[in-house]
Chain A
Amino acid sequence: MNTATNRTARTSRRRLPPALRSLLRSPTGSIGLAVVVLFVLAAIFAPQLAPYDPNATNLRARQVPPAWIAGGSSENLLGTDQLGRDILSRLIFGTRVALVVGLGGVALTSLIGVTLGLLAGYFRGRVDAIISRAIDTLLSIPNVLLYLVALGVFGPSLVMLITVIGLVNWTTFARVVRGEVIAIREREFVDAARANGARSPRVILKHVLPSVSGPIMVVGTLNVATIIILEASLSFLGFGVQAPTVTWGRMLADGRDYLATAWWLATFPGVTITLLGLGLLFLGDWLRDLLDPRLRGR
C-alpha cells in the first residue's frame, strides 16, 4: 500500500486499524487497556477467581498477615481482616461495585451532560442561560457535601448512588459538549451561508454528535477513575453502598482502626484503587493522543 492511502485512512473518521496501530505503539496505552480489561474480567469472574467467599468469616483466623510476612500463610495471600475474611477475595469482589458504579455513573452522567450540553450549545439564549446557571450552582457546592446530603435523602443503595452521581457529576460533560457544539455550529453556519442551503437541526446533530464523541470518550474514561475514587471516598465516610456488599472504600474505613496492628487492611484496597485508576488514566491519555489531531483542529 502506498503511504497516501494510509494517510487518508488515518485522517478519516473511521478509526479501527489506525487505533490498533497507535495502541501498539504506545506502551502506556496498552498497559492501560490491559489493566482495565484485567479488572473487568475480575469483576465478571469474581466467584471463580476469588479463593473464598468475601463475606465468609473465620473467627479462628482473624487479622492474619499477608503470606510473605511472619505469621502469614499461603491460605490467605493478602491476609485476613478482623473477622477472618480473606482480603484478596474481598478485593476481587470489590471490583464489581467499583466498575458498576464507575461505568453506570459515567453512563448516566454522560447521558445527562451530553443532552444538556447539546441543548445549551445549540439553542443558546435562554436555554443556555438556564443550563449554565444550573452548572454554576452545582459547581458552587463542594461536591462531597452535596453527595452526602443527597445520599441521606435517596438512601445508600447501588442504584441510588449511581443516580446521585449522575445528577451531580454531569457538569464537565455538559461544558465540553456545549463548547464543541458552539464551535461546530459556527462553522456550519459559515458553510451553510456559503452553500446557500439551510441545515436542519437534525443534520447539525448528525455532524455534532460524531465530532463530540471523541472528547466524550476521553473525558468519560477519565471520569470513570474519578467516580471510582469518589465512590471509595463516600464509602469511607460511611455513605456508600452498605454492607454486606464489599466495597474498597469500606475496607479502607475498617482498616483505619487497625493501622497499628494490621496495616494490610488499609493498604491493599488503596493499592488496588490506584492500579485501576492508573490503568484508566493511561487509557484516557492514549485516547486523547489518538483524537488529538481533531481536537487541535478546532
Chain B
Amino acid sequence: MSEVRQPQRRTVLQRLAVVLLGLVLVASAGAQRTLTVAQTVDIPGFDPHNHGLTAVEAVITNVFDYLLFRDANGDIQPALATGYEQVDDLTWRFTLREDVVWHDGEPFTAEDVKFSLERVARDESLFEHDSFQQIAEVEIVNDHEVLIHTSGPDPVLLNRVSRKGADIVPAHVIEAVGWEGFSVNPVGTGPFRFVEWVRDDRVVLEAFPDHWRGAPVWDRLVFRAVPEDATRVGELLTGNVDIAVNYPSQDVDRTRAAGGVDVVSQPTTRIMMLLFNTADGKATADPRVREAVELAIDKDLLVEVVADGFGVPVEARVSPGVDMAPMKYYNRNAYDPERAVELLAEAGYGPGDLTIALQGPAGRYPGDADTLAVVQVMLNEVGVNTTLESLEWSAYNSRIWGADNVENIALIGLANSLFDGWFALRALPCDGSYAKRTNWCNPEFDQLLTDAEFNLDLDERARQIETAFDIVAQERPMIALFQIDALVGVSNDIEWQPRPDEMIWAFDIQPK
C-alpha cells in the first residue's frame, strides 16, 4: 500500500515544483527593476532647504529638480529652466520648461520657482539660507518665465541654482499641508515619486513615468540606511544592494577579489586641512615654522596610510570640478624634511626646542584621528615635540573649533558645495569666521576677495582668486593635506560613474 502511494506523491510533488518554478520564472521576467543604494545615514526629512547634508541631498535629488543641472562633467545643463540670460548686473532671466507636471498631476509654473527660491533666500532659520541670501527677489513674468534679482552682482548664480538647496518645491502642496506634512510626504517634479519612508531603515521611491526626461529605466529606487561599514560591505557582496557608498578603504582589495562587484573611487571636494594659530607668542606664529610643518609632512605616505592611497595630496583647497580653483596646487607633495629642519633652525629652534599642540576630531571624517597621529610622527621626525588631542566631534566643536580655541594646529575637513574657488577662501578674511582661530589678517587678501565676490568679468575674477590662493599658500594660515576620494562599491550589473558632487542621480545609472 505505502509503496504504491509514495511514487504517486513524489510525482505530484515534482509536478508542483515544476509549476512553481515556472511561475517564479514568469514572475521574475516581469519583475520590477529595482536599484538599491546603501548609505550611511537616513534622511531627516524631505525638506530640501533644511538638511545641509550631501548624503541626504543624494537621495532627495531624485524626487525634485533644480532649475539647472550639473552633469557628470560639471557642465551646466537645462533642467526646469530651458534657457537663461543675464539681463544686467543684478538680473537674470530664466525661461521655464513647459509641460512639466508635479507628481500629483498639477502643472509646474513660475509660482513654484518664486515660492521655493524666495523661501530659502529669506527664511533665516533654514540651514541652506546662507548660500541663497544673495537672491533678493524672484519676479514672475508669466507662467514660464521668471526674473531673478540678486542683491549684488552674483558671478555664481548659475552654480547657486544648480546645487543642493535649490530644489523647486510645489507651492500648492505646501500651502495645503504645511512643511510638517511635506517633510514626510513630498511631491516633486523629479524622475522618482515618493512611496514610503521607514525611519532609520529605508526610503522607497518609484518611477514617475511622466517626467520631462521620460520614464526612468528603474521601476523602483530604494535608499537604505546602513551605518555600519561591515554591513554595507556585506550587503554589496551578497547582492542585496547595487551601490554602497562610503566604502571602507581597508575592504577594497577583498571586495575586488570577490568578483561581481567593483569599488570605484571619485574625487570629492572635501580636503583635509590644518589650520594654524598665527598669533604672536604661539609656537606657530613664525611663518618659517608653518612652512617647516608643511615640508615635514610626506603627504603621499599620509594618503597611503590613512586612506590606502585613495586620495590626492594638495597644497591648497582645490579639487577637480571646482571653478576658478588654481589646479597648479593639485597633486603636489613638497615633502622635504631637511629643508624643514633648516627652516626651524632659522627660526631659532633646534631639535627638541619647539613644542606644537595638535588638535583634531575623531570619527568625524574618515581616518581623521589617524591623520593627526601620522602628522605627529612626521613632526617628531624633524625634531618637533608634539602633544595630541583627538576629540569626539561635538566635544571638538564646542571646545576647540567652535570656541575659537585653537592652540597651534587644528585639523578640519572642508568641502565645497558651491563648486567655486572663491567659496573656498571666504572664511579667511580679517572679519571672516576663521579670523579668530588663525589670528591672520592680510588686507591685500581681503581686497582681492571683495573685488572678486561681485566681479562678473570671469577672467579677471579667476586671476583675483588665484592671487588670493597664492597669498594663502605663501603665508599659510592654513595648509591643505590631501583631497579625499569617495569610495563607492558598485555592482557589475550596473553602469555608473560616481559624481564629484556625490549626488546619486538614478536617472544616470543604467543596468548592464
Contact = CB atoms under 8 A, between A and B. Distances in A.
So, do A and B actually touch in the complex, CB under 8 Å?
A: yes
Interface of A: 55, 57, 59, 62, 82-83, 152, 155-156, 238-239, 242-244, 257-261
Interface stretch (B42-50, B282-290, B366-374, B414-422): B366-374
Contacts of A239: 392
A57 to B, nearest CB: 5
B399 A155 contact: yes
A59 B301 CA distance: 9
A31 B286 CA distance: 58
B305 interface: yes
A46 B50 CA distance: 51
Contacts of B17: none
Interface in B378-419: 388-392, 394-395, 399
A258 B250 CA distance: 8
A73 B314 CA distance: 36
B373 to A, nearest CB: 6
B395 A156 contact: yes
A152 B395 contact: yes
Given A83-B370, A257-B229, A243 B251 contact: no
Nearest to B302: A59
Nearest to A59: B305
B377 interface: yes
Nearest to B367: A82
B390 A243 contact: yes
Interface of B: 229-230, 233, 248, 250-251, 254, 301, 305, 362-363, 369-370, 373-374, 377, 388-392, 394-395, 399
Nearest to A58: B377
A152 B373 CA distance: 24
Contacts of A83: 305, 370, 373-374
A59 B374 contact: yes
A232 to B, nearest CB: 16
Given A62-B305, A258-B250, A243 B229 contact: no
A238 B392 contact: yes
A83 B372 CA distance: 11
A238 B364 CA distance: 11
Nearest to A237: B392
B370 to A, nearest CB: 6
Contact of A238 (B301, B362, B377, B388): B362
18 contacts: A59-B301, A59-B305, A59-B374, A62-B305, A82-B370, A83-B305, A83-B373, A83-B374, A156-B395, A242-B362, A242-B391, A242-B392, A242-B395, A244-B389, A257-B230, A257-B250, A259-B230, A261-B250
A258 B233 CA distance: 12
Given A257-B248, A258-B250, A57 B377 contact: yes
